Amino acid sequence: MSEEHFDRTGAKKALEQFAIDGSVKEIRPYGNGHINDTFLAVFQSGDGEKRYILQRMNHNIFKNPPLLMENVVGVTDYLRKAILTQGGDPDRETLNVVRTLEGKSYYEDQGHSFWRVFLYVEGTLCLEKVESPKDFYNGGAAFGDFQRMLAEYPAGELHETIPNFHNTPSRFQDFRRALEADRAGRAALVRPEIEFALSREEEISVLTDLLKKGELPLRVTHNDTKLNNILFDRATGRALCVIDLDTVMPGLSLYDFGDSIRFGASTGAEDERDLSRIELDLELFEAFTEGFLKGYGGKLTRREIEMFPMGAKLMTYECGIRFLGDFLEGDVYFKVHRENHNLDRARTQFKLVADMEKKWDQMVSIVEKHRAGICG
C-alpha cells in the first residue's frame, strides 16, 4: 500500500487499543504481502523506541478473523513452549501477539476492520528473492522444523481459515467458474494461458487422491511457505522465525515443500514480465530439499519424499490458476500494483510448470539421492 493511500488515522486509533507503553511516533506501510495491510509502528516511551507490526486483516478473504486469531494464538503459544524447551528465544523465534487493553488478540473497529499487533522481530531481514543456496537450505530447514515442532499439535482445534486452500481439484473448479463467468471480459485476451491450465486437468488430483487412499498423512502445515514469510537473522544468516500464520491448518507436507519451491527456486520474481528469465533452478531445488529433510528430522514417510517433485509442480500450477482466475474475475483477491499484474504472475507460474516438466527426471534423481540417505 502506498503512503498516500493509507488511513493513518484509522491505523493510529487501532493502535491505541493495544496494551503498549508510550506514544506512537511513526506508522508506515510495510512489507510486500499480497493479502493483509501491514504497517510498521514505532512507539516512544521512557525506555526508548520499540517497534511493532500492525496488521489490518483481510476480512474479505479470511471470513472469521476471531477464529483465525484463535489459531494464531494457539500455535504461537505452543511454539513458544517448544522453543523454550529447545533452549531458543521465543521472543524472536516465533510471532508474539500483543493483546488489546481488554486482553483480546485483535481489535474490531467501528467500520468492522479487524486489527492485530505483533512484536517486531528486531535484527532480521525478509528476502524477496533467494540470494544463495545456503539461504534456501536454511529456509527449507525452518519450514521443515516448523512442521516437526507442530507434529503433535491438536489438529482438531485448528479452524479451517480458508476451506480447501490447497485442494487443487477444488481450485480447478473455481478457475472453471471464473472462466465461464468471465466477469471482467478478459478471457479472450488470454487464450494460450487458459489452454495451458485446462490441458493439465488430468494431474490435478494426484495428491488429494493419495491423501484419500491414506498413502499420504494429514499434518499441521503452514500452507503459505513463500520465502518472504520467513525472517532471517541479520547477524547469523539463520532462518529465525516463520511468520504469516493465517493459513496454518491441516494439510500435506507437500503443500509446504511445493509452495516454497514455486517461489524460491524460480530464477525470476513471481511477477517477472520477461519470461525468458523464469526457470527452475535445480541447485536451489536441491538446497531446499536437503534443508527441508534436515528440519523434518527423519519424520517424513518415503511416499511423501517421493512426491516432492509432484508437490512442487502442483503447487506452482495451482498458484498459476489462482492468479489467472483472479485476473478473469477482475483482480478481486490478490493485491495488484499495475495493469495485468495477476496475468504476469500467472504466466511466470505456468512457465515454471513447463520447465519443471522438462526437468522432471532431474528433480526425481535429486530427491531420490537425498531420500536414499534417509529411508534406504
Q: Which of residues 308-337 bind ligand ADP (CB under 6 A)?
A: none
Q: Does 271 bind ligand GN1 (CB under 6 A)?
A: no
Q: Does 33 bind Mg ion (CB under 5 A)?
A: yes
Per-residue contact track with ligand ADP, 16 to 35, x per CB under 6 A? --------------xx-xxx
> How many Å apart are CA 352 and CA 317, to the nearest integer?
9
Q: Does 258 bind Mg ion (CB under 5 A)?
A: no
Measured from each CB, the residue nearest to ligand ADP is 33
Of the two residues 248 and 366, which places its CB atom closer to ligand GN1 in the complex? 248
DSSP assignment letter at 5: G
- Can you state the percent helix, strand and coil of the chain, rounding each to 5? 50, 15, 35
- Please work out the total of residues on this chain that contact Mg ion, with binding judged by CB under 5 A: 3
Q: Which does 344 bind (CB under 5 to 8 A by kind): ligand GN1, ligand ADP, Mg ion, none?
A: none
Q: Does 344 bind ligand GN1 (CB under 6 A)?
A: no
List residues bridging with 50 in a β-sheet.
43
> How many Å apart are CA 272 and CA 252, to the nearest integer?
29
Q: Which does 53 bind (CB under 5 to 8 A by kind): ligand ADP, Mg ion, ligand GN1, none?
A: ligand ADP
Q: Which does 247 bind (CB under 5 to 8 A by kind): ligand ADP, Mg ion, ligand GN1, none?
A: ligand GN1
How much is the CA Rg of the chain, to the nearest whole Å?
Answer: 21
Q: Does 268 bind ligand GN1 (CB under 6 A)?
A: no
3-state secondary structure 16-39: CCECCCCEEEEEEECCCCCCCEEE
Q: Does 244 bind ligand ADP (CB under 6 A)?
A: yes
Of the two residues 89 and 209, which places its CB atom closer to ligand ADP in the complex? 89
Q: Does 224 bind ligand GN1 (CB under 6 A)?
A: yes
- CA-CA distances (angstroms) from residue 38 to 41, 53, 57, 61, 267? 10, 7, 9, 15, 27
Q: Does 226 bind ligand GN1 (CB under 6 A)?
A: yes
Q: Which residues contact 129 (CB under 8 A, 6 or more apart)?
A: 227, 269
Q: Which of residues 48-67 bind ligand ADP (CB under 6 A)?
A: 53
Q: Does 120 bind ligand ADP (CB under 6 A)?
A: yes
Q: Which does 208 bind (CB under 5 to 8 A by kind): Mg ion, ligand ADP, ligand GN1, none?
A: none
> How many Å apart are CA 65 and CA 317, to the nearest integer?
28
Closest among 141, 117, 159 to 16, alpha carbons compared: 117
Stretch that binds ligand GN1, among 47-55, 94-102, 141-149, 223-231 (CB under 6 A): 223-231
The correct pick among 15, 20, 35, 231 for binding ligand GN1 (CB under 6 A) is 35
Element holding 59 (H helix, E strand): none
DSSP secondary structure string for all residues of 153-166? S-GGG---SSTTTT
Closest among 98, 86, 96, 88 to 121, alpha carbons compared: 96
> How many Å apart are CA 244 and CA 94, to the nearest integer?
10
Of the two residues 61 and 275, which places its CB atom closer to Mg ion in the complex? 61
Q: State whether residue 118 is helix, strand or coil.
A: strand
Q: Which residues bind ligand GN1 (CB under 6 A)?
A: 33-35, 61, 224, 226, 229, 244, 246-247, 259, 270, 319
Per CB under 6 A, residues contacting ligand ADP are 30-31, 33-36, 38, 53, 95, 118, 120-121, 126, 228-229, 231, 243-244
Residues of this chain that interact with Mg ion (CB under 5 A) are: 33, 229, 244
